[in-house]
C-alpha cells in the first residue's frame, strides 16, 4: 500500500472511528485496485477515470456480487475524495463510476416459535455456556443490539433497576433501548456465575483471557450449538438474524418504522425500510381476514 493509501486508512481511524473489520475490507479493496493499476505501471493515487471504469467493469466480469461491487465503488470514491481534499490530486476520478443496481435482500429472521425453541434449548444447556447462551439470546431478542454492542457490555450492565440501557453504537452514536425483566434476570445469573473469577471480569460476556470479552466467533459458535439442540438448521442462525427477528416481530405486532429506526440505531430510515415486507405481509393478512370479498 502506498503512502496515500496508508494516510487514508489512518484518517478513517482517527476521524471516523472505523472498526477493524471496516479497515481490513477497505485495505483489501485498495490493494486489489493497486495490483490492477500496477500492470500498467500506474500508482494508486494517479489512476484515471478510464482506468477506474475498466477496473469496475472487470469486477462485474469476474462475477463479483452487486453488493461487493457497490462497496468497492464506495471505497474508491471516498479514497479519491480524500486525495482531492488533501491536495494530492485536483479531481476525484471515481466520481463518474456508475453504481450497480442493488436488489434489496430480504432480511433473514426466525419465527416466534423458533426463538422460543432456541431459548428452551439454551436453558437446557449446562454450565457457563448455557448461561451465556440464555443471556445472549434474551438480551439480543429484547433489544435488537448488534453483536459487538452485546459483547462489549461492561460486567455491571443490566445490574440496576433501570428499565432502559444506554448503548454507544456505530460512530460513537448513543441510543436508549428498553430492557425486559427476563433479560435483566439472565444477565444477573451470568454475572453471578462469573463473579468468582480472578481477576473480576471486565465484560458481562467474558472471554477466555482475563479482561477480554467473548469473541464474535465464539458467540456465533455457541448459538449454532444451541440451534442444533433446538432442532434448527445452524446455518440459519447468527447474532444478526436475531437482530432481524427482533425488528421483524416488533413490526408484525404493530411497531412503526420510525420507532424501530431509533431502537436499531440506524442513522437513515432507508436502512430500516428493509423490514417493510413485514408491514406488507401484515396488511395482506388484515385484508384477507376482514375484507368482505376475501373468501370469494
Please confirm, yes or no, whether 266 is among the known catalytic residues: yes
Tell me how far apart the alpha carbons of residues 33 and 46 are, in angstroms, rounded to a whole number: 12
Please confirm, yes or no, whether 109 is among the known catalytic residues: no
Catalytic residue among 72, 73, 77, 146: 146
Catalytic residue among 72, 243, 244, 249: 243
Catalytic residue among 46, 89, 224, 240: 240
Catalytic residue among 170, 175, 185, 282: 170
Please confirm, yes or no, whether 123 is among the known catalytic residues: no
* 75-113 exposure pattern, b = at least 16 Cβ within 10 A, e = fewer: bbbbbbebbbeeeeeeebbbeebeebeeeeeebebbeee
Tell me how far apart the alpha carbons of residues 144 and 259 are, in angstroms, rounded to a whole number: 12
Please confirm, yes or no, whether 36 is among the known catalytic residues: no
Please confirm, yes or no, whether 243 is among the known catalytic residues: yes
Cell of 116: 422460543
Please confirm, yes or no, whether 291 is among the known catalytic residues: no
Residues belonging to the active site: 146, 170, 240, 243, 266, 275
Amino acid at each position: 500500500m502506498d503512502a496515500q493509501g496508508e494516510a487514508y486508512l489512518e484518517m478513517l481511524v482517527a476521524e471516523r472511528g472505523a472498526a477493524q473489520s471496516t479497515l481490513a475490507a477497505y485495505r483489501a479493496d485498495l490493494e486489489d485496485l493497486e495490483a490492477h493499476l500496477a500492470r500498467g505501471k500506474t500508482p494508486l493515487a494517479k489512476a484515471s477515470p478510464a482506468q477506474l471504469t475498466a477496473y469496475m467493469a472487470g469486477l462485474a466480469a469476474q462475477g463479483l456480487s452487486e453488493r461487493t461491487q457497490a462497496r468497492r465503488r464506495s471505497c474508491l470514491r471516498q479514497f479519491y475524495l480524500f486525495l482531492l481534499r488533501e491536495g494530492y490530486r485536483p479531481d476525484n476520478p471515481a466520481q463518474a463510476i456508475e453504481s450497480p443496481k442493488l436488489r434489496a435482500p430480504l432480511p433473514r429472521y426466525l419465527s416466534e416459535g423458533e426463538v422460543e425453541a432456541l431459548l428452551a434449548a439454551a436453558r437446557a444447556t449446562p454450565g457457563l455456556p448455557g448461561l451465556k447462551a440464555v443471556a445472549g439470546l434474551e438480551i439480543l431478542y429484547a433489544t435488537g443490539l448488534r453483536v459487538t454492542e452485546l459483547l462489549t457490555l461492561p460486567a455491571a450492565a443490566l445490574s440496576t433497576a433501570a428499565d432502559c440501557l444506554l448503548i454507544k453504537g456505530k460512530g460513537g452514536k448513543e441510543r436508549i433501548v428498553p430492557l425486559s425483566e427476563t433479560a435483566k434476570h439472565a444477565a444477573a445469573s451470568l454475572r453471578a456465575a462469573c463473579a468468582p473469577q480472578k481477576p473480576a471480569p471486565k465484560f458481562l460476556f467474558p472471554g477466555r483471557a482475563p479482561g477480554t470479552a467473548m469473541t464474535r466467533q465464539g458467540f456465533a459458535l455457541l448459538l449454532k450449538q444451541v440451534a442444533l439442540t433446538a432442532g434448527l438448521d445452524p446455518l440459519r442462525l447468527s447474532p444478526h438474524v436475531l437482530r432481524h427477528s427482533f425488528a421483524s416481530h416488533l413490526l408484525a405486532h404493530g411497531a412503526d418504522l420510525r420507532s424501530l429506526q431509533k431502537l436499531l440505531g440506524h442513522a437513515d430510515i432507508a436502512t430500516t425500510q428493509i423490514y417493510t415486507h413485514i408491514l406488507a405481509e401484515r396488511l395482506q393478512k388484515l385484508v384477507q381476514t376482514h375484507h368482505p370479498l376475501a373468501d370469494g
